[in-house]
Chains A and B, each alone.
Chain A
């Protein structure tokens, strides 16, 4: 935890509302991105991201500082998303449409350009993942993964968190994270292959 986060946490414990404001402003974009990637719906993501910070405010006393504050924050976000996905699945909520819209927007129609994506510079057969057409397929495939696989892939490959951090967020043993992440990547690759063929 950085010194600044430590100070913020200390002030948060004293119910310093200004410190809470700083925490929200500092982390809102990261939390929103993570939650949106896990949920695939902007409105849901905004609501859940706000719930994450409400939980932070309410539960700051339970944060013991054994992990980074950001890791704790991500754990809260992941748990909120997990619960939300369960809730929405019971209500037959479909996440695909917003993602499709987003994929279409990002696939070039919006003019954002391809430079935003696909940083990998690989030789054949890697080029199968190169090009704008794959990005929409990638997001769609992510959306089709089960919640646990999607969480692991996003935490590791998109958020670039370490295995240790993922273990702290998911409360899974490291060996389990390794094996399940591998399964998740294989499942994702299989789905992308389906879309790109």
Chain B
């Protein structure tokens, strides 16, 4: 390597040499050259002085920080804004989402308990008491009428006669399959809201006693006949020949007798009809004897 080449090469290596980044062989060659080339040696010293001066800047604090909490507060505020308050929100206002979930859960559980029959909702035992022992009796005439709209008081409801179902149900092709679609997200354990041809339809186990269960189907006025027909048709399809229908003059109860072993099947049948799940848990609860009779109330 000529002296001129070494001079140019040496100049390129001065920074790495200053930083101790040259491997031993090249460092030795450069040091030998520096001993012979005053220009390179001078350049090295100027670079060394420059680097020394720059290192001196390191002890400065040129950008004196604001008060630590002030700077931190600024950073947190930026994050708070960009996460829409998910992080670093004002603790006085922030409610952890876990707490919100617990509160909502407690409220929902409380509502569920309060809405159970025997709490806030009345138990309609009267009509059932007139339907003893799995065999409905009574003398009401079948079919929808055009009068009363209230649920009869206990004992006031005449038991329907056997065989009155046919008159009440009309055609077996009653439109149980007409579009009764469930309303998404509204399905308490024993109360189900559906959408019938004329609006929302609520199907729920209204009350129960030791021996009887009342299933109530709340429908708009315009939907009464459709629903009544659909329910009766389904009950008939379920093979419950003991089902009877009272003359209720319109929105009257439709008492029917259903053996305990049939109740679950009936609930399932209704569920299929309305494409929803009817919780029949209370029916089979160990704390309650199974039902032997039931009543459908069409309001």
Residues of A within 8 A of B (CB): 15, 17, 21, 24-25, 28-29, 32-33, 35-37, 42, 45-46, 49-51, 53-54, 57-58, 102, 106, 116-123, 125-130, 134-135, 138-139, 153, 156-160, 163, 178-179, 181-182, 185, 188-189, 192
Chain B residues within 8 Å of A153, by CB: 54
Q: Is the CB of B15 within 8 A of A54?
A: no
Q: A32-B65, A51-B78 are in contact. Are A17 and B88 (CB under 8 A)?
A: yes
Q: Is the CB of B82 within 8 A of A54?
A: yes
Q: A54-B78, A129-B50 are in contact. Are A33 and B72 (CB under 8 A)?
A: no
> Which of B14, B49, B58, B87 is most buried by chain A, counting CB atoms within 10 A of its CB?
B49
Q: Which of B29-37, B40-48, B170-178, B282-290 is near enough to bind chain A?
A: B40-48
Chain A residues within 8 Å of B58, by CB: 158-160
Q: Is the CB of A117 within 8 A of B47?
A: no
Q: Is the CB of A189 within 8 A of B78?
A: no
Nearest residue (CB) in A for B47 is A185
> For the complex, what is the distance from the CA of A43 to the CA of B291, rounded to whole Å?
79
- Distance of B40 from chain A, by nearest CB (Å): 13
Q: Is the CB of A185 within 8 A of B51?
A: yes
> For the complex, what is the distance from the CA of A153 to the CA of B48, rounded to whole Å?
13
Chain A residues within 8 Å of B51, by CB: 120, 157, 185
Chain B residues within 8 Å of A120, by CB: 48-49, 51-53, 55-56
Q: Is the CB of A138 within 8 A of B62?
A: no
Q: Is the CB of A122 within 8 A of B72?
A: no
Q: Is the CB of B65 within 8 A of A29?
A: yes
25 A-B Cβ contacts within 8 A?
Answer: A28-B65, A28-B68, A32-B63, A33-B61, A46-B71, A50-B71, A50-B74, A51-B78, A54-B78, A57-B75, A116-B56, A118-B52, A118-B56, A120-B51, A120-B56, A121-B52, A122-B52, A126-B46, A129-B49, A129-B52, A129-B53, A158-B54, A182-B14, A185-B50, A189-B46
> For the complex, what is the distance from the CA of A33 to the CA of B87, rounded to whole Å?
27
Q: Is the CB of B60 within 8 A of A185?
A: no
> For the complex, what is the distance from the CA of A163 to the CA of B23, rounded to whole Å?
14
> For the complex, what is the distance from the CA of A178 to the CA of B21, rounded to whole Å?
9
> For the complex, what is the distance from the CA of A90 to the CA of B119, rounded to whole Å?
73
> For the complex, what is the distance from the CA of A118 to the CA of B57, rounded to whole Å?
8
Nearest residue (CB) in A for B49 is A126
Chain B residues within 8 Å of A119, by CB: 52, 55-56, 59
> For the complex, what is the distance from the CA of A28 to the CA of B72, rounded to whole Å?
9
> For the complex, what is the distance from the CA of A37 to the CA of B65, rounded to whole Å?
13
Chain A residues within 8 Å of B54, by CB: 138, 153, 157-158
Q: Is the CB of A158 within 8 A of B21?
A: no
> For the complex, what is the distance from the CA of A33 to the CA of B50, rounded to whole Å?
20
Whether B79 sits at the interface, judged by CB under 8 Å, is yes
- Distance of A59 from chain B, by nearest CB (Å): 12
Nearest residue (CB) in A for B82 is A54
Q: Is the CB of B63 within 8 A of A179?
A: no
Known: A37-B62, A129-B49, A189-B50. 18 other contacts (CB 8 A): A24-B75, A37-B63, A51-B78, A53-B75, A117-B59, A118-B52, A118-B56, A122-B45, A125-B49, A126-B48, A126-B52, A127-B49, A130-B49, A134-B53, A157-B55, A158-B57, A178-B21, A182-B14
Whether B19 sits at the interface, judged by CB under 8 Å, is yes
Chain A residues within 8 Å of B87, by CB: 15, 17, 57
> For the complex, what is the distance from the CA of A159 to the CA of B122, rounded to whole Å?
80
Chain A residues within 8 Å of B55, by CB: 119-120, 157-158, 160
Q: Is the CB of A123 within 8 A of B45?
A: yes
- Distance of A18 from chain B, by nearest CB (Å): 11
Q: Which of A28, A54, A125, A129 contacts B79 (CB 8 A)?
A: A54
Q: Is the CB of B74 within 8 A of A25?
A: no
Chain A residues within 8 Å of B56, by CB: 116-120, 135
Q: Is the CB of A106 within 8 A of B60?
A: yes
- Distance of A176 from chain B, by nearest CB (Å): 12
Chain B residues within 8 Å of A160, by CB: 55, 58
Chain A residues within 8 Å of B14, by CB: 182
Chain A residues within 8 Å of B88, by CB: 17
Whether B185 sits at the interface, judged by CB under 8 Å, is no
Q: Is the CB of A156 within 8 A of B65?
A: no
* Interface mask (B238-266 → A, CB under 8 Å = 1, otherwise 0): 00000000000000000000000000000
Chain B residues within 8 Å of A37, by CB: 57, 62-63
- Distance of A28 from chain B, by nearest CB (Å): 5
